[in-house]
Structures are given as structure tokens and as C-alpha cells.
A and B are shown apart, each in its own frame.
Chain A
């Protein structure tokens, strides 16, 4: 059963970056194929915490993050649903004076970027966010940030791309991709071959093998953020909560369930899937109950985790390949890709169309790893053995 497809752009990975890139490119008139080894939006894009947050990002991410910020309120026009996006504000808590000083430093460092951060002292917190318990000395509030439902947004972008005429190919793993004199040749799924002028590598935790096959090894590891959700509760928290220096993060959805993240899970026997550790989940739960007295009597009804690609410097790889014309990378978002993904989609589409983008992305160049001595993908402490092959040229991951 063989089939050939000829497109302008082949996108490897149907997560939020891939599907938003596909939608943007289709809007520019390109013929696009979006390929996923499983279901679009079923991995990190669809099972993440759902924070739509600029606050706390490294300053070099902020122009891109601001670009994405403009996309979120337009979701209904763009993909037909609002994805339960709520501009609730994001409140980052400080548990001690040192953390508060770090929040202050961040606010002044990012003052030029339009986050409109507001520093709040202990008394102000008591007054405005009385539902937060003891042990917090202050906070930084970003009123324009919020949260959304990743399950709907990620699947919604892929569905919108399909409606717009993108060839969405699920359960179609890309088995090989190679540069030809004219564009690229891909083999995927059962007997599918594709020809494409451009290839986008946005395969998330699975992107490393594709980059490496074009001579661009990256230190991509895997992380498995753990989430806990409560039964529906009366309104407890009005904003998306984070913590300086790590810890838990929490939000309450409109239906009343509180989603609390933190800790790291572990992969299953099939390392593409993961689940939280029991003691990790208990730790998240108890931290949440301690921080939010209104949750003390709540029940936890479900845990989950997902497989996310992570970079050692916590910045993603975004931009053109430095070895292969027509190839672009966008992966390694290190647990912070949800908010900026729609912006990344626009940027990659611009790169394909114009060869350049108006948004500064130099900091994310894959070139920052070109000094790496070894062509090894290395794995997170929790990742165990990874089965990605170490080949060059025509790869069969």
C-alpha cells in the first residue's frame, strides 16, 4: 500500500508548534502535510499544565512571548474555540525575602517588555488574595497572563489546520527524511512517501534524532512534569499561581477543578508514556493543601504526566538549520512551550515564506550547541534508556 504526496512543507510533529505552524503556512497559501507518530496534541502540548504565562521567562524569550500573547485572545477567530483561555493574571509567590528580591530584580530587568508587572507586599497579598495561606512574603503579579485548556487548544489547532486544508496524517511516524537536490524526501507510516520543499522539525521530545541526522546533535533530554487535579470546588483561586524558585503551580478551571503541578514523573515501560510517582503526587497534593486552605477538604481525582523535551539552558531551539537549507527546527521548550507555541508557529511560517522573521530568535539558534564534541543525545535522569538511533544522513528514527 504505497502512496506519494508532494507538498510545499512537511511538518514533523503534530503538537501545538506543528499545528500552529501548519495553520499559519496554510493561511499563506502553502501546501502542508502535518505528520504525527500518534495523535496530534496527545503528548506534551495536550497534557501540560495549561499556564499561559509570560512572567518568569528568560528575557530573551519575551519578544516571542509577546507575539504569542497577541494570538491567545484571537483563538476563537483562529481555530473556532476559545480553548477556555482565561486572562486571569499570573501571580508568582515569594516564600522569603531572597525570593522577593529575585522577583524585584526580574521586574526591573524586564521593564521594557510590557509585562506590566506589579510587585505586591505581604499586606497587599492578604488584602487581595486572602485565599493564599501563610508562608508567603510577597508576590509579583502579571495581569495579562492567564491559563487555558491544553487538551482543547492543541487538538483545536490541529483540527483547524485540517479544516483549512492541511493534510493531517496521524499515526504516521516519519521513518526517514533526507535532503535531495530539490527539497526533501520523507518516508512515513506504512508506505507513504512525501516530497517537500521545506521540512519543519518540531517533534518535541523526539526531535533530537531528526536534528542529529542532519549533523546537528543537541543535548535534548526528557522531562515528565506531574499534575494532580481535584474534584470541582467552589471558586477558590482567582489567578494562575506560580512560585519563585520552583515548587508547585496551580490554577482553577471554570468548572471548579484545581490543577496543581510540580515534581517530575517517570516514564513507563514504553518511554513515550509516563505517569507521576505516587509519593511525588502526594507531595504536590499536600503542598497545595498547605498553600490554599480552601483546598484542605478537596479530593484528588486524577494524576497525569507527559513527555516533554528539555534543553540544558532551558531555552528552546527555534530557527533555520545551519547545515541544511530548507530545514527548520522548533523544539525543546523545556516545560514552558504552551504559551509561546502559537507565536512560534507564526515565526516559522515567516521563515519559510520570507527566509527571515521580524521577531528576534537568535538566542534560540541550534548553533549554540555546534561546539558539542559528541553526536550523542543525552537523557534526563528520569528518562532511562532512550531508543533513538544515532545515525547521520538518511535517518530511520
Chain B
């Protein structure tokens, strides 16, 4: 292994940490790059400055897992190269362009594990760009990482397990939670009973959180639709329901999200083949059960390859590392690999249950008003997008981007891409899988125009 470049792991969340650990155990020295200042990913994100809160306060029932993961990664010090606060902004031809400490370096790698995680999935509603509206994940990070609440009287809206978890965490932190508005009907929750035999503890924990919210007097509403965020300069309240029976509630903070979406830009830049995933309603990079992609030496692990949660991410990170070792002709534990795959498959079956319990609001595209902002980076309203679809006769996502600017801005469609695909599919009478996916372009996140290439670093390699 002496003159081969080191493996590169992108992301220091549960998947990236477990991948790094397995590679180190096999005698390799991976480079781990991560955008955050400390390891843990989003789910086990660490606070920026120490405060009086305990791990239990921060991570609740997952405190043991969080502490273990942080500890294990700390123990890898000296055996990995770890670059926090680092952005991998481009991948090409087996080399990575990486921004760290204000400079860009080109890094060669031999084996690439993409553990890029996920962000909230959003479907725009009137008022969603008002100050005071956060994603569920953003609301959670404000609390976890900075000890801040997104308001003094907060409403949580959307779908997915995170909806109840974040509401419960805010409640426990002493924030007034005005309501939880679930876009799915109550009947959908009955699907969770099917999940009991698979993961009884998880299902029961969810039920307990819901019960505690209720006991604390938090209003829980199901089947919520026609939502409008109220306010002129910032969030002042929320309204929902049909015009004849509209309900309103005052609040100064709103957490909103409809489950999660995978961060797939780097897999795209790496040249991985994508296919449509019905459960996630998204195109995802293809991978086998071990995490191998269509590109030799590129592996996927964690939510970046399809939403499966933190426990699955740990397993998938380890599994991808074993695949890398195997492909490199190094000793690896095949029995362990099979056990990991079996457990991942079991979590996959549970994910089907969760999807049924927290279904995607598929009728959204029929409802979005023309004047609602669809792409906030480029400030494009839904009506303008409908107009572009009609006047240019486009029915493919990249063509729509070309003629409407949707997805061209700072976020490159990470925020609006899912919604745009839904709208295009609806307007053209096609399935969501038939409108294609936005092709990724570097840089995956904005970089300074004056970013300099550290040629000294390149020469040293």
C-alpha cells in the first residue's frame, strides 16, 4: 500500500466515521474531509462551545450512540488525516478539489467513500421564505449545536419521524411548542404497527414522544393541507385548511420539512450512474448491497445514498469500507459483511413502514399557487415555471432549468429540485421518474472567486 494514494472519505457523520474506523483497523490511513467543525454529522452534531447541557439533553435516547461515535473517531487521531471545516467542491478523473483553510488543493485518492448525508426535503408553501421559517433539520441544529431555539412560540409542520422528534426536543428544552401539524392523515400512523415486530423500541419511542407532546398540551393536527405562513416581515402565524374552515395559530418560529433528501452531487460529479428510487421519489446513485457504485473505487454509505437513518449509516459505512478492502485485495471479514447487509436489509423493510406512516404529500403540485416562490435562490415563482413549461414546451428537468433559472442559483437545486420535479411532472402529465434529474455542476457549494490553488501542496503529494 506504500505508494498508493490514501482512501478519501467525505463526511464525518455516522457513515464516514465507521468507514474510517474499519479502514484504519485494516492498516490504511484514510483522509477524512468534513464541512463541519467537529465530527458527528448532522444527527450527532456537537455543540460549538461547551455549555451546561449533557449528552442526554442533546441527543436524548441516542446519547449513548453519539458519545460512542465521537469517542471512536477521537481514538482514530494519529491514524487518519482529518480535515474539518473543509469543502470538497469538485471531483474529476480520480482527483478531488478541496477547499481548506482558504486555499484549494488537489488531492488524489485511491478509493472514495461518499458519506455525504442528507438535508430536509421541502415543498414550497406561501410564506416559506419569511424569516423565522426553518427546516426541521435546521431547527434541530440550532438547538443541538448552538443552544438556540428558532422562536419563543414554535410550530412544527410537515411529515416524517423528524417532525415529532424535533418537536419533542424543543419541548424538553423548555421552548413553547404551539402545535405539530402533520401533513399525513392519522390513519397513516397505523402503519407503524407493522413496524413493531421489526424495531419495537423505535416505534414505542415514537409513540412515547407523541404521548408526551400531547400530555404537555401541544396540539397535534393530522391531515393538514392548504398551509400558509402568515406575516409581513417575518413569521407571525400559520393558517391551514380549506378556506371555509381555515384555522390559524400565532407563532414566531416554524420548523418545516417533509422527510429528507439525499445529498448526491458528489456521486454525480464522480460519474456514478443514477436510477430512480420510488421510496425516496428521487434519482439516487446506483449501489449494490455493499455500497459499490457504477464507478470502480467509488463507494456510498449513509443517507447520501438513499434515506435510511443514522443506525443504517453506521452499518453502511463499515460495509462500504469492507468492500473497499476487498476490492483492494486486502483481508476483510466476509461474515461480518454479510451480517451488516442482513441488518441493512431489515432496516430497509422498516423504512417502507415509515414511508407509509409519513407519506409524501403527492398532491402538492396540484395546489401550489402561481405567486408562491419555487426557487428562492433565483427568485422564480411557480407561475413563471408553469409559463416556461408551456411556452418552451419542455418536459425534462435540465431543459426547464435552462429556460426558467430554477435550480441555477447558489443551492443548485438542492432546495427546490424536488419540488420542481414534482411540478414539471404534474404540468406535463408524466410520472416523476420521467422528468429526469438535474445534472450536478461544480462547485457543489459556492466558493470565493479569489480561491487560490495551493500548488505547493500539490507538489508535495
Interface status of B399 (Cβ within 8 A of chain A) = yes
Known: A80-B391, A155-B402, A156-B392. A299 touches B441 (CB 8 A): no
Evaluate contact between B402 and A46: CB separation under 8 angstroms.
yes
Q: Give a binary string over A155-183; 1 marks a CB under 8 Å from any B CB, 0 the rest.
A: 11001001000000000000000000000
Bound: A41/B439 CA distance, A: 16
The answer to whether B449 and A278 touch across the interface, beta carbons within 8 angstroms, is no
What's the interface size class on B, roughly?
A: 35 or more
CB neighbours (8 Å) of A289 from chain B are 449-450
Chain A contacts for B193, CB-based, 8 A: none
Interface string of A259-287 (1 = CB under 8 A from B): 00000001011000101111101110110
Do residues B448 and A299 form an inter-chain contact, with CB atoms below 8 A? Answer: yes
Task: Choose from A152, A273, A283, A297 the contact partner of B403 (Cβ within 8 Å).
Answer: A152
Tell me if A279 and B409 are in contact (CB < 8 A). no
Contact with A along B301-319 (1 / 0, CB 8 A): 0000000000000000000
Residues 429-458 of B contacting A (Cβ, < 8 Å):
439, 441-443, 446-453
Is the CB of B221 closer than 8 A to any CB of chain A? Answer: no
Task: Tell me the complex Cα distance, A389–B90, Å.
Answer: 33
**Nearest Cβ on chain B to A224's Cβ, whole angstroms:** 13
Q: What separation, in Å, do the CA atoms of A162 and B393 have in the docked complex?
A: 9
A231-B446, A295-B449, A300-B443 given; A275·B399 CB < 8 A: no
With contacts A282-B452, A282-B453 taken as known, whether A299 is within 8 angstroms of B271 at the C-beta atoms is: no
A7 within 8 A of B: no
Query: Hey, which chain B residues are within 8 Å of A255, CB to CB?
Result: 378, 405
A39 beta carbon closer than 8 Å to chain B? yes
Given known contacts A268-B271, A269-B271, A299 and B396 CB-to-CB distance under 8 angstroms: no
**Beta-carbon contact of B443 and A302 below 8 Å:** yes
The answer to whether A298 and B398 touch (CB under 8 A), given A275-B441, A282-B104, is no
Q: Is the CB of B104 within 8 A of A302?
A: no
Of B104, B446, B449, most buried by chain A (CB within 10 Å of CB) is B449
Q: Are A277 and B441 in contact (CB under 8 A)?
A: no
Number of contacting residues on A, CB 8 A? 40
Tell me how far the C-beta of B370 lies from the nearest C-beta in chain A, rounded to whole angstroms: 19
In the bound complex, CA of A279 to CA of B90 (Å): 10
- Interface residue A106 (Cβ < 8 Å from any Cβ of B): no
> Does A296 count as interface, using CB distance less than 8 angstroms?
yes
A270 to chain B, nearest CB (A): 9
Residue B412 CB within 8 A of the other chain: yes
The chain A residue sitting closest to B402, CB to CB, is A151
Q: Are A286 and B90 in contact, with the CB atoms below 8 A?
A: no
A303 near B: Cβ within 8 Å? yes
User: Known contacts A159-B392, A295-B449; is A303 also within 8 Å of B403 by CB?
Assistant: no
B412: A residues at CB distance < 8 A: 301-302
Chain B window 129-153, contacts with chain A (Cβ cutoff 8 Å), 1 for yes, 0 for no: 0000000000000000000000000
A214 at the interface (CB under 8 A from B): no
User: B90 and A278: CB pair below 8 A?
Assistant: yes
Q: Is A288 an interface residue (CB 8 A)?
A: yes
Q: Is the CB of A278 within 8 A of B106?
A: yes
B106, B405, B410, B442: the one within 8 Å of A231 (CB): B410
Q: Are A298 and B449 neighbours in the complex by a CB distance under 8 Å?
A: yes
B448 to chain A, nearest CB (A): 6
Contacts of A276 in B (CB 8 A): 442
CB-based nearest B residue for A305: B441
Assuming the A-B contacts A156-B392, A301-B412, are A42 and B450 also in contact, with contact meaning beta carbons closer than 8 angstroms in the complex?
no
Residues of B within 8 A of A298 (CB): 448-449
CB neighbours of A297 from chain B (8 A): 448-449
Contacts of A42 in B (CB 8 A): 398-399, 402
Interface centre among A269, A281, A289 (most CB of B within 10 A): A281
A230 in contact (CB, < 8 A):
yes
Q: Which of B391, B399, B439 contacts A39 (CB 8 A)?
A: B399
Q: Do A299 and B92 touch (CB < 8 A)?
A: no
Assess whether A278 is in contact with B399, with CB atoms less than 8 Å apart. no
A41 and B106 alpha carbons, distance in the complex (Å): 34
Task: Determine if B449 and A286 form an interchain contact, defined as CB atoms under 8 angstroms apart.
Answer: yes
Q: Please measure, in the bound complex, the distance between the C-alpha atom of A156 and the C-alpha atom of B394, giving whole angstroms.
A: 11
Q: Given A155-B402, A162-B393, A277 and B447 touching (CB < 8 A)?
A: no
Decide: A301 and B106 in contact? CB cutoff 8 A.
Answer: no
Chain A residue contacts of B450, Cβ below 8 A: 285-286, 289, 296
Q: Indicate if the CB atoms of A300 and B453 lie closer than 8 Å.
A: no
From A80, A273, A285, A302, contact of B449 by CB (8 A):
A285
Chain A residues, CB < 8 A from B392:
155-156, 159
What's the Cα separation between A155 and B271 when bound, in Å?
27
| Interface 1/0 per residue, B392-427 and A, CB below 8 Å | 111010110011010011101000000000000000
Indicate which residue in B97, B378, B410, B452 contacts A278 across the interface (CB closer than 8 Å): B97
Q: How far is the CA of A304 from the CA of B89 in the complex (A)?
A: 14
Among A278, A298, A300, residue most surrounded by chain B Cβ atoms (within 10 Å) = A278
Residue of A nearest to B394 (CB): A155
Query: Which residues of chain A have C-beta atoms less than 8 A from B439's C-beta?
Result: 273
How distant is A76 from chain B, measured CB to nearest CB, in Å? 13
A289 to B451, CA, bound (A): 10
12 A-B residue pairings within 8 Å (CB atoms): A41-B402, A152-B403, A155-B399, A159-B391, A266-B92, A276-B442, A282-B453, A285-B451, A300-B443, A300-B447, A300-B451, A303-B442
Where the two chains meet, the residues of A that have a C-beta atom closer than 8 Å to any C-beta of B are: 39, 41-42, 46, 80, 151-152, 155-156, 159, 162, 230-231, 255, 266, 268-269, 273, 275-279, 281-283, 285-286, 288-289, 295-304
6 A-B pairs closest in CB distance? A278-B97, A299-B446, A151-B402, A278-B90, A289-B449, A285-B449
7 other A-B residue contacts (CB within 8 Å) besides A42-B399, A282-B104, A286-B452: A39-B399, A41-B402, A278-B95, A278-B106, A295-B449, A300-B448, A302-B412
